Amino acid sequence: MAEKTAYSQAFHSGRYDKASGLLGKYDNVRRFWEDQVTSIFLRPALNDLVENKRKRLERLRVLDLGCGSGDGFDLIMGVTTKDPGIYEYITAALTDDMLKEYVGLDLNEDLLRQAEEYYGQAPKMRFVQGDLTHGLPPQIMQEEEPFDFYFTSYGTLSHFHDHQAVDLVADISKHAPHKAIVMLDWLGRYTYEWQNLWHHPVDQEYFMDYRISYIYPEDQRDKVEVASFPLRLMSRDEIMKIVAEASRKSGVQVKPLVFFDRSIFIGRHMDTGDYNKNCPKLRGPVNSLFESYVRTDLESLFVNYVPRQGFAPINNFFEMFFMSCNALVEYTISLLSKYSCDTATFQSPPAQVLPYYPEPLKEAMHTMRRVVEGVGWVKFGDARANMIESHLAYSLRKLEMELQPGTGMGHGLVGIFEINK
Protein backbone atom coordinates (compact mmCIF):
# COMPACT_ATOMS: atom_id res chain seq x y z
CA MET A 1 0.00 0.00 0.00
CA ALA A 2 2.74 2.42 1.00
CA GLU A 3 4.54 1.48 -2.19
CA LYS A 4 1.48 2.24 -4.29
CA THR A 5 1.07 5.64 -2.63
CA ALA A 6 4.73 6.46 -3.19
CA TYR A 7 4.60 5.54 -6.88
CA SER A 8 1.31 7.44 -7.39
CA GLN A 9 2.83 10.48 -5.70
CA ALA A 10 5.89 10.28 -7.91
CA PHE A 11 3.69 9.94 -10.99
CA HIS A 12 1.50 12.95 -10.10
CA SER A 13 4.53 15.12 -9.31
CA GLY A 14 5.41 15.01 -13.02
CA ARG A 15 9.01 14.15 -12.10
CA TYR A 16 8.50 10.52 -12.97
CA ASP A 17 7.95 11.37 -16.65
CA LYS A 18 10.40 10.06 -19.23
CA ALA A 19 13.33 12.46 -19.51
CA SER A 20 13.23 14.02 -22.97
CA GLY A 21 13.77 17.38 -24.57
CA LEU A 22 11.11 16.78 -27.18
CA LEU A 23 8.20 18.52 -25.42
CA GLY A 24 7.33 20.97 -22.65
CA LYS A 25 8.49 24.37 -21.43
CA TYR A 26 12.13 23.32 -21.20
CA ASP A 27 12.28 21.48 -24.52
CA ASN A 28 15.54 21.26 -26.48
CA VAL A 29 14.70 24.33 -28.54
CA ARG A 30 14.26 26.46 -25.40
CA ARG A 31 17.57 25.27 -23.91
CA PHE A 32 19.82 24.89 -26.95
CA TRP A 33 18.37 27.49 -29.30
CA GLU A 34 16.36 30.22 -27.53
CA ASP A 35 18.40 30.50 -24.30
CA GLN A 36 21.62 30.22 -26.31
CA VAL A 37 20.66 32.90 -28.85
CA THR A 38 19.84 35.26 -25.97
CA SER A 39 23.08 34.48 -24.23
CA ILE A 40 25.22 34.83 -27.38
CA PHE A 41 23.77 38.31 -28.10
CA LEU A 42 24.23 39.24 -24.44
CA ARG A 43 27.80 37.96 -24.30
CA PRO A 44 29.76 41.10 -25.34
CA ALA A 45 27.92 43.44 -22.95
CA LEU A 46 28.06 40.98 -20.03
CA ASN A 47 31.76 40.25 -20.61
CA ASP A 48 32.58 43.98 -20.57
CA LEU A 49 30.48 44.52 -17.47
CA VAL A 50 32.15 41.67 -15.57
CA GLU A 51 35.63 42.88 -16.62
CA ASN A 52 34.90 46.45 -15.49
CA LYS A 53 33.53 45.30 -12.15
CA ARG A 54 36.52 43.02 -11.58
CA LYS A 55 38.94 45.89 -12.25
CA ARG A 56 37.14 47.96 -9.62
CA LEU A 57 37.23 45.08 -7.11
CA GLU A 58 33.43 44.88 -7.19
CA ARG A 59 30.94 42.12 -7.94
CA LEU A 60 27.66 42.14 -9.87
CA ARG A 61 24.14 42.68 -8.60
CA VAL A 62 21.43 41.45 -10.93
CA LEU A 63 17.70 42.25 -10.97
CA ASP A 64 15.40 39.90 -12.92
CA LEU A 65 12.12 41.74 -13.62
CA GLY A 66 9.15 39.40 -14.10
CA CYS A 67 11.37 36.51 -13.02
CA GLY A 68 8.57 33.89 -12.94
CA SER A 69 10.06 30.72 -11.52
CA GLY A 70 13.58 32.15 -11.73
CA ASP A 71 14.64 30.71 -15.09
CA GLY A 72 16.57 33.89 -15.87
CA PHE A 73 19.21 32.92 -13.33
CA ASP A 74 20.35 29.89 -15.34
CA LEU A 75 20.10 31.95 -18.51
CA ILE A 76 22.59 34.59 -17.36
CA MET A 77 24.88 32.16 -15.55
CA GLY A 78 25.00 30.16 -18.82
CA VAL A 79 26.45 33.04 -20.87
CA THR A 80 29.96 32.08 -21.93
CA THR A 81 33.14 34.13 -22.20
CA LYS A 82 34.20 35.67 -25.50
CA ASP A 83 36.33 32.82 -26.73
CA PRO A 84 36.34 29.82 -24.43
CA GLY A 85 38.29 27.62 -26.90
CA ILE A 86 38.00 23.84 -26.56
CA TYR A 87 40.28 23.06 -23.62
CA GLU A 88 38.84 25.26 -20.86
CA TYR A 89 36.46 23.61 -18.41
CA ILE A 90 34.91 26.74 -16.92
CA THR A 91 33.51 28.94 -19.67
CA ALA A 92 30.99 31.15 -17.83
CA ALA A 93 31.21 34.92 -18.34
CA LEU A 94 29.74 35.48 -14.90
CA THR A 95 31.19 32.92 -12.51
CA ASP A 96 29.63 32.42 -9.09
CA ASP A 97 32.51 34.22 -7.36
CA MET A 98 31.77 37.38 -9.42
CA LEU A 99 28.05 37.38 -8.54
CA LYS A 100 27.19 39.45 -5.48
CA GLU A 101 23.43 38.94 -5.58
CA TYR A 102 20.56 37.93 -7.86
CA VAL A 103 17.15 39.38 -7.00
CA GLY A 104 14.07 38.05 -8.82
CA LEU A 105 10.88 40.15 -8.79
CA ASP A 106 7.45 38.98 -9.91
CA LEU A 107 3.78 39.64 -9.20
CA ASN A 108 2.69 36.02 -9.28
CA GLU A 109 2.81 34.26 -5.91
CA ASP A 110 2.62 30.74 -7.38
CA LEU A 111 5.60 31.35 -9.63
CA LEU A 112 7.56 32.93 -6.78
CA ARG A 113 6.80 29.89 -4.63
CA GLN A 114 8.13 27.67 -7.41
CA ALA A 115 11.25 29.88 -7.68
CA GLU A 116 11.80 29.51 -3.93
CA GLU A 117 11.41 25.76 -4.29
CA TYR A 118 14.05 25.59 -7.02
CA TYR A 119 16.52 28.19 -5.75
CA GLY A 120 15.54 28.99 -2.14
CA GLN A 121 18.65 27.30 -0.77
CA ALA A 122 21.05 29.30 -2.95
CA PRO A 123 22.67 31.84 -0.62
CA LYS A 124 23.02 34.66 -3.17
CA MET A 125 19.47 34.46 -4.55
CA ARG A 126 16.44 36.33 -3.26
CA PHE A 127 12.89 36.58 -4.59
CA VAL A 128 10.49 39.45 -3.89
CA GLN A 129 6.91 40.13 -4.83
CA GLY A 130 6.27 43.40 -6.60
CA ASP A 131 4.12 45.05 -9.26
CA LEU A 132 5.79 46.69 -12.25
CA THR A 133 2.69 48.42 -13.65
CA HIS A 134 3.74 51.81 -12.24
CA GLY A 135 7.48 51.48 -12.78
CA LEU A 136 9.95 49.98 -10.33
CA PRO A 137 8.11 49.37 -7.04
CA PRO A 138 9.13 51.50 -4.00
CA GLN A 139 10.82 48.54 -2.29
CA ILE A 140 13.31 48.54 -5.18
CA MET A 141 13.54 52.29 -5.89
CA GLN A 142 13.97 53.31 -2.27
CA GLU A 143 15.36 50.32 -0.45
CA GLU A 144 17.66 48.52 -2.86
CA GLU A 145 21.24 49.44 -3.81
CA PRO A 146 21.73 49.99 -7.55
CA PHE A 147 22.01 46.87 -9.71
CA ASP A 148 24.55 46.35 -12.51
CA PHE A 149 22.21 44.38 -14.75
CA TYR A 150 18.43 44.86 -15.01
CA PHE A 151 16.82 42.28 -17.20
CA THR A 152 13.56 40.85 -18.49
CA SER A 153 13.19 37.63 -20.44
CA TYR A 154 10.77 35.79 -22.71
CA GLY A 155 8.37 38.58 -23.51
CA THR A 156 7.80 40.01 -20.02
CA LEU A 157 7.46 43.60 -21.26
CA SER A 158 4.60 42.63 -23.57
CA HIS A 159 2.38 42.57 -20.45
CA PHE A 160 2.56 46.36 -20.24
CA HIS A 161 1.14 49.39 -22.05
CA ASP A 162 3.73 51.66 -23.62
CA HIS A 163 3.34 54.41 -20.99
CA GLN A 164 3.97 51.77 -18.30
CA ALA A 165 7.08 50.53 -20.12
CA VAL A 166 8.27 54.16 -20.34
CA ASP A 167 7.84 54.58 -16.56
CA LEU A 168 9.66 51.32 -15.89
CA VAL A 169 12.63 52.14 -18.14
CA ALA A 170 12.77 55.69 -16.73
CA ASP A 171 12.88 54.30 -13.16
CA ILE A 172 15.56 51.79 -14.11
CA SER A 173 17.64 54.60 -15.66
CA LYS A 174 17.38 56.65 -12.45
CA HIS A 175 18.13 53.68 -10.18
CA ALA A 176 21.00 52.21 -12.25
CA PRO A 177 24.65 53.22 -11.98
CA HIS A 178 26.74 54.45 -14.94
CA LYS A 179 27.49 51.58 -17.40
CA ALA A 180 24.73 49.27 -16.08
CA ILE A 181 23.15 46.99 -18.69
CA VAL A 182 19.42 46.78 -19.33
CA MET A 183 17.80 43.98 -21.35
CA LEU A 184 14.24 44.61 -22.56
CA ASP A 185 12.26 41.68 -23.98
CA TRP A 186 8.96 41.89 -25.94
CA LEU A 187 7.09 39.72 -28.46
CA GLY A 188 7.90 40.59 -32.09
CA ARG A 189 5.30 42.08 -34.43
CA TYR A 190 6.21 40.36 -37.68
CA THR A 191 6.95 36.72 -36.89
CA TYR A 192 5.63 34.29 -39.53
CA GLU A 193 3.73 32.58 -36.67
CA TRP A 194 1.18 35.40 -36.51
CA GLN A 195 1.13 36.62 -40.09
CA ASN A 196 -2.67 37.07 -39.73
CA LEU A 197 -1.95 39.94 -37.30
CA TRP A 198 0.60 41.89 -39.36
CA HIS A 199 -2.01 44.31 -40.71
CA HIS A 200 -2.59 46.08 -37.38
CA PRO A 201 -1.31 49.67 -37.82
CA VAL A 202 2.19 50.18 -36.45
CA ASP A 203 1.36 53.66 -35.15
CA GLN A 204 -1.09 52.11 -32.66
CA GLU A 205 -0.32 49.99 -29.59
CA TYR A 206 -1.37 46.50 -30.59
CA PHE A 207 -2.07 43.68 -28.10
CA MET A 208 -2.64 40.19 -29.48
CA ASP A 209 -4.91 37.68 -27.80
CA TYR A 210 -2.18 35.17 -26.84
CA ARG A 211 -3.20 31.53 -26.49
CA ILE A 212 -0.92 29.09 -24.66
CA SER A 213 -2.37 26.30 -26.76
CA TYR A 214 1.05 24.75 -27.35
CA ILE A 215 1.15 23.24 -23.87
CA TYR A 216 -1.60 20.78 -24.91
CA PRO A 217 -0.96 17.82 -27.22
CA GLU A 218 -2.18 18.56 -30.74
CA ASP A 219 -5.20 16.25 -30.59
CA GLN A 220 -6.48 17.93 -27.41
CA ARG A 221 -6.15 21.59 -28.44
CA ASP A 222 -9.66 21.82 -29.92
CA LYS A 223 -11.24 20.02 -26.98
CA VAL A 224 -9.93 22.11 -24.08
CA GLU A 225 -10.79 25.69 -23.25
CA VAL A 226 -7.43 27.35 -23.91
CA ALA A 227 -6.81 30.40 -21.72
CA SER A 228 -5.70 33.58 -23.50
CA PHE A 229 -4.45 37.00 -22.44
CA PRO A 230 -3.37 40.23 -24.17
CA LEU A 231 0.29 40.69 -25.11
CA ARG A 232 1.83 43.73 -26.83
CA LEU A 233 3.55 43.05 -30.17
CA MET A 234 6.55 45.25 -30.93
CA SER A 235 8.79 46.48 -33.70
CA ARG A 236 12.24 47.98 -33.15
CA ASP A 237 11.01 51.53 -33.96
CA GLU A 238 8.34 51.26 -31.27
CA ILE A 239 10.93 50.15 -28.69
CA MET A 240 13.18 53.05 -29.67
CA LYS A 241 10.28 55.47 -29.08
CA ILE A 242 9.67 54.04 -25.60
CA VAL A 243 13.35 54.21 -24.69
CA ALA A 244 13.72 57.77 -26.05
CA GLU A 245 10.71 58.89 -24.00
CA ALA A 246 12.06 57.15 -20.86
CA SER A 247 15.43 58.80 -21.42
CA ARG A 248 13.81 62.22 -21.77
CA LYS A 249 11.79 61.65 -18.58
CA SER A 250 14.73 60.50 -16.47
CA GLY A 251 17.35 62.79 -18.01
CA VAL A 252 19.63 59.75 -18.42
CA GLN A 253 21.13 58.50 -21.68
CA VAL A 254 20.00 54.94 -22.51
CA LYS A 255 22.29 53.78 -25.31
CA PRO A 256 21.16 50.89 -27.55
CA LEU A 257 23.86 48.21 -27.91
CA VAL A 258 22.06 45.56 -29.95
CA PHE A 259 18.59 44.38 -31.00
CA PHE A 260 17.86 40.79 -31.90
CA ASP A 261 15.01 38.65 -33.14
CA ARG A 262 14.62 35.39 -31.22
CA SER A 263 12.83 32.32 -32.63
CA ILE A 264 12.17 33.21 -36.25
CA PHE A 265 12.41 29.57 -37.35
CA ILE A 266 10.97 27.78 -34.34
CA GLY A 267 8.60 30.04 -32.37
CA ARG A 268 6.12 27.99 -30.32
CA HIS A 269 3.16 29.04 -32.46
CA MET A 270 4.76 27.67 -35.64
CA ASP A 271 3.46 24.30 -34.51
CA THR A 272 -0.05 25.38 -33.45
CA GLY A 273 -0.88 27.37 -36.60
CA ASP A 274 -3.30 29.37 -34.39
CA TYR A 275 -2.47 32.66 -36.13
CA ASN A 276 -1.27 31.39 -39.51
CA LYS A 277 -2.48 28.13 -40.95
CA ASN A 278 0.42 28.03 -43.45
CA CYS A 279 3.12 27.64 -40.78
CA PRO A 280 5.06 24.41 -41.02
CA LYS A 281 5.43 22.51 -37.73
CA LEU A 282 9.14 23.08 -37.19
CA ARG A 283 9.64 23.01 -33.43
CA GLY A 284 8.99 19.26 -33.17
CA PRO A 285 11.58 18.33 -35.83
CA VAL A 286 14.16 20.78 -34.43
CA ASN A 287 13.67 19.32 -30.93
CA SER A 288 14.35 15.96 -32.55
CA LEU A 289 17.55 17.26 -34.25
CA PHE A 290 18.94 18.11 -30.82
CA GLU A 291 17.85 14.82 -29.22
CA SER A 292 20.44 12.04 -28.99
CA TYR A 293 19.57 8.64 -30.44
CA VAL A 294 16.54 10.03 -32.28
CA ARG A 295 16.83 10.40 -36.06
CA THR A 296 14.83 13.14 -37.75
CA ASP A 297 13.07 13.15 -41.10
CA LEU A 298 15.06 16.07 -42.54
CA GLU A 299 12.43 16.67 -45.23
CA SER A 300 10.11 17.88 -42.45
CA LEU A 301 12.38 20.94 -42.03
CA PHE A 302 11.57 22.42 -45.44
CA VAL A 303 9.53 25.63 -45.41
CA ASN A 304 7.17 26.59 -48.20
CA TYR A 305 6.79 30.27 -47.28
CA VAL A 306 3.43 31.80 -48.21
CA PRO A 307 3.75 35.58 -48.61
CA ARG A 308 1.19 38.13 -47.42
CA GLN A 309 0.09 40.75 -49.94
CA GLY A 310 1.08 44.33 -49.08
CA PHE A 311 4.17 43.50 -47.00
CA ALA A 312 6.92 43.39 -49.63
CA PRO A 313 9.98 44.13 -47.42
CA ILE A 314 8.90 41.60 -44.79
CA ASN A 315 8.08 38.98 -47.43
CA ASN A 316 11.49 39.59 -49.02
CA PHE A 317 13.24 38.93 -45.73
CA PHE A 318 11.33 35.69 -45.11
CA GLU A 319 11.90 34.53 -48.72
CA MET A 320 15.66 34.98 -48.32
CA PHE A 321 15.72 33.51 -44.81
CA PHE A 322 13.63 30.40 -45.44
CA MET A 323 15.24 29.75 -48.85
CA SER A 324 18.64 29.83 -47.11
CA CYS A 325 17.42 27.38 -44.44
CA ASN A 326 15.96 25.11 -47.14
CA ALA A 327 19.25 25.21 -49.07
CA LEU A 328 21.17 24.15 -45.95
CA VAL A 329 18.79 21.27 -45.22
CA GLU A 330 18.87 20.12 -48.84
CA TYR A 331 22.66 20.25 -48.85
CA THR A 332 22.82 18.20 -45.64
CA ILE A 333 20.50 15.58 -47.13
CA SER A 334 22.76 15.41 -50.21
CA LEU A 335 25.87 15.04 -47.99
CA LEU A 336 24.29 12.15 -46.09
CA SER A 337 23.10 10.43 -49.27
CA LYS A 338 26.58 10.53 -50.83
CA TYR A 339 28.69 9.62 -47.83
CA SER A 340 29.95 6.06 -47.40
CA CYS A 341 30.50 5.04 -43.75
CA ASP A 342 32.70 2.13 -44.90
CA THR A 343 35.20 4.13 -46.94
CA ALA A 344 34.71 7.39 -44.95
CA THR A 345 34.49 9.34 -48.20
CA PHE A 346 31.84 10.87 -50.46
CA GLN A 347 31.02 8.43 -53.24
CA SER A 348 30.18 11.28 -55.58
CA PRO A 349 30.78 15.02 -55.14
CA PRO A 350 28.22 16.73 -52.84
CA ALA A 351 26.09 19.57 -54.24
CA GLN A 352 27.90 22.85 -54.95
CA VAL A 353 28.10 25.78 -52.55
CA LEU A 354 27.40 28.68 -54.87
CA PRO A 355 29.53 31.83 -54.53
CA TYR A 356 26.59 34.24 -54.43
CA TYR A 357 24.91 32.56 -51.43
CA PRO A 358 24.81 34.73 -48.26
CA GLU A 359 28.07 34.35 -46.28
CA PRO A 360 26.45 32.69 -43.20
CA LEU A 361 24.84 30.08 -45.49
CA LYS A 362 28.16 29.33 -47.21
CA GLU A 363 29.89 28.98 -43.84
CA ALA A 364 27.11 26.72 -42.51
CA MET A 365 27.32 24.50 -45.62
CA HIS A 366 31.11 24.18 -45.44
CA THR A 367 30.82 23.34 -41.74
CA MET A 368 28.15 20.68 -42.31
CA ARG A 369 30.39 19.06 -44.92
CA ARG A 370 33.32 18.98 -42.51
CA VAL A 371 31.13 17.59 -39.74
CA VAL A 372 29.79 14.77 -41.95
CA GLU A 373 33.33 13.97 -43.16
CA GLY A 374 34.73 14.26 -39.64
CA VAL A 375 32.31 12.00 -37.78
CA GLY A 376 30.22 10.12 -40.36
CA TRP A 377 32.44 7.04 -40.04
CA VAL A 378 32.23 6.76 -36.23
CA LYS A 379 30.84 3.31 -35.46
CA PHE A 380 29.85 3.52 -31.79
CA GLY A 381 26.89 5.69 -30.87
CA ASP A 382 24.67 6.97 -33.66
CA ALA A 383 26.83 9.52 -35.51
CA ARG A 384 23.90 10.90 -37.47
CA ALA A 385 21.45 11.32 -34.57
CA ASN A 386 24.00 12.31 -31.93
CA MET A 387 26.40 14.58 -33.81
CA ILE A 388 25.39 15.44 -37.36
CA GLU A 389 21.76 16.32 -36.69
CA SER A 390 22.56 18.44 -33.65
CA HIS A 391 25.06 20.31 -35.77
CA LEU A 392 22.41 20.95 -38.39
CA ALA A 393 20.31 22.52 -35.62
CA TYR A 394 23.23 24.76 -34.56
CA SER A 395 23.77 25.70 -38.21
CA LEU A 396 20.11 26.66 -38.69
CA ARG A 397 20.38 28.65 -35.47
CA LYS A 398 23.44 30.39 -36.93
CA LEU A 399 21.40 31.37 -40.00
CA GLU A 400 18.67 32.78 -37.75
CA MET A 401 21.25 34.80 -35.81
CA GLU A 402 23.24 36.11 -38.75
CA LEU A 403 20.61 36.74 -41.41
CA GLN A 404 18.13 38.59 -39.19
CA PRO A 405 17.48 42.35 -39.06
CA GLY A 406 16.52 42.55 -35.33
CA THR A 407 13.33 44.47 -36.10
CA GLY A 408 10.52 42.18 -34.91
CA MET A 409 10.71 39.20 -37.30
CA GLY A 410 10.78 36.55 -34.56
CA HIS A 411 8.58 35.38 -31.71
CA GLY A 412 10.67 37.58 -29.41
CA LEU A 413 12.30 40.98 -29.98
CA VAL A 414 14.98 41.99 -27.49
CA GLY A 415 16.99 45.18 -27.04
CA ILE A 416 20.14 45.45 -24.91
CA PHE A 417 21.05 48.93 -23.64
CA GLU A 418 23.75 50.65 -21.61
CA ILE A 419 23.08 53.37 -19.06
CA ASN A 420 25.29 56.43 -19.47
CA LYS A 421 25.35 58.97 -16.67
Ligand X SMILES: C[S@@+](CC[C@H](N)C(=O)[O-])C[C@H]1O[C@@H](n2cnc3c(N)ncnc32)[C@H](O)[C@@H]1O
Number of H helices, E strands in the chain: 13, 11
Q: Are 363 and 324 in contact (CB under 8 A)?
A: no
Backbone angles phi and psi of 215, in degrees to 5: -75, -15
Q: Closest approach of Cβ 254 to ligand X, in Å?
A: 21
DSSP 146: P
Q: Closest approach of Cβ 340 to ligand X, in Å?
A: 45
Q: Closest approach of Cβ 181 to ligand X, in Å?
A: 16
- Residue among 33, 30, 42, 40 at smallest CA distance from 149: 42
Q: Closest approach of Cβ 412 to ligand X, in Å?
A: 10
Q: Are 416 and 258 in contact (CB under 8 A)?
A: yes
Does 106 contact ligand X by CB under 6 A?
yes
β-strands 253-262, 228-234 pairing:
unpaired
| Nearer to ligand X among residue 71 and residue 271 (C-beta) | 71
Does 38 contact ligand X by CB under 6 A?
no
Does 114 contact ligand X by CB under 6 A?
no
Identify the helix (H) or strand (E) that includes residue 173.
helix 162-175
Cα–Cα distances in angstroms (integers) from residue 42 to residues 39, 258, 340, in the given order: 5, 9, 41
| Nearer to ligand X among residue 68 and residue 410 (C-beta) | 68
Does 35 contact ligand X by CB under 6 A?
no
| Nearer to ligand X among residue 151 and residue 192 (C-beta) | 151
Does 315 contact ligand X by CB under 6 A?
no
Does 188 contact ligand X by CB under 6 A?
no
From residue 136 to residue 175, what is the string marking binding to ligand X with x (rule CB under 6 A)? -----------------xxxx--x----------------
For ligand X, which residue of 8, 9, 133, 196 counts as binding (CB under 6 A)? 133
For ligand X, which residue of 27, 39, 53, 66 counts as binding (CB under 6 A)? 66
Provide DSSP, 216-273.
S-GGGTTTS---EEEEEEE-HHHHHHHHHHHHHHHT-EEEEEEEEEE-SSS-GGGTT-
Does 108 contact ligand X by CB under 6 A?
yes
Residues that bind ligand X (CB under 6 A): 66-68, 71-72, 106-108, 111, 131-133, 153-156, 159
